[in-house]
A = this chain, B = another copy of it.
Amino acid sequence: MSHQNGFHVAVVGATGAVGQQMIQTLMKENFPIRELTLLSSARSAGKKVDINGREYTVQEAKPESFEGVNIALFSAGGSVSKELAPEAAKRGAICVDNTSAFRMDTDIPLVVPEVNEKDLFEHNGIIANPNCSTIQMVVALEPIRQKFGLKKIIVSTYQAVSGSGAAAVEELLQQTKAILNEESYEPQILPVKSDKKHYQIAFNAIPQIDKFQENGYTYEEMKMINETKKIMHLPELQVSATCVRLPVAVGHSESVYFEIEEDNVSAAEIKALLKDAPGVILQDDPENQVYPMPADCVGKNEVFVGRIRNDIDNSKGFHMWVVSDNLLKGAAWNSVQIAQRLVELGLVK
């Protein structure tokens, strides 16, 4: 089939926080779209969405919805992806899935284009988009791995509430207002909507993102650990993570300690490397108080890196501070970027 008029693209979860960003990103990046189908759960079906002055009606996602679709971007929760991505693939669509449904499946590529674009060639109709906190970290670490090798990572995250969806952002704002006005409030969403207890996020920090596993780590932490190894093709890499939710609407930050294989590497060499790395913007000038912050990264596709310095004791150890818009590079932009690369590599049927 010729695609000279563009592609038939479907967005599944079109009314959600990430789905909305996906649509905006497709437009902003001038993705070659012939036809756009917006899909959602039955609950949101029928909603109208305005895109560049044209009104679209969101339809309920069903297996038949994917007839004729070339590329389907999924962000409607793991169960929807589990059910419908194989149906879409069966009908010839190539699926980019932003949920955790398939990420650790051995026959599904888990892709960050700056890191492992070549894995796209191994797809069987579904490509998984990694977890937001994982993506920005591997973009910053991959150039370092390529040049100096990578042995160990210890990361502590500072994550925005939009990672829990639009309702969590609303909870942060309403709760903040209530506290400033000395009114009462009842936490209902964070840290995890489906978990037993909910806690104040305004003017607080919650060391729980996603539910806990038996080993004392949260699923979010285990995602960072397992996905990093898979994306970087480093099964032996040592990775540990502590994931923390902050009263920030958009923009994840990460304090990353890493150990490289090579010795006698300076922080200046790491900075020089990241200055020219794909998808990275180096903001590292302590003397002039230049470093990345979540408030500055909102709406930008890149991963911002700063505060790069040698560990005090370990000559192979370094610290850095990595910030990115969790809805863009952490989700919508990485998905659209995968779609772009699929097109450019001729992988879309």
Contact = CB atoms under 8 A, between A and B. Distances in A.
Interface of A: 152, 154, 156, 158, 173, 176-177, 180, 191, 195-197, 199-200, 203-208, 212, 215-217, 225, 238-240, 242, 244, 246-249, 253, 255, 257, 267, 286-289, 291-295, 306-314, 317, 319, 321
Count this chain's copies in the assembly: 2
A239 B217 CA distance: 24
B317 A158 contact: no
28 contacts: A152-B313, A176-B176, A195-B289, A196-B288, A199-B289, A199-B295, A203-B247, A203-B248, A203-B294, A204-B294, A205-B294, A207-B255, A207-B291, A207-B306, A207-B307, A207-B321, A208-B291, A212-B286, A212-B287, A215-B309, A216-B267, A217-B312, A238-B313, A240-B311, A240-B313, A244-B255, A246-B247, A247-B248
Contact of A248 (B205, B225, B257, B308): B205
Nearest to A151: B313
A308 B180 contact: no
A310 B195 CA distance: 24
Contacts of A191: 289
Nearest to A172: B203
Nearest to A196: B289
Contacts of A257: 154, 240, 257
B311 A242 contact: no
A173, A286, A321 interface centre (most CB from chain B within 10 Å):
A286
Nearest to A243: B255
A345 B291 CA distance: 48
A220 to B, nearest CB: 13
Given A156-B156, A238-B313, A309-B215, A293 B253 contact: no
A309 B214 CA distance: 11
A215 to B, nearest CB: 7
B312 A253 contact: no
A284 to B, nearest CB: 9
A313 B229 CA distance: 13
Contacts of A317: 240
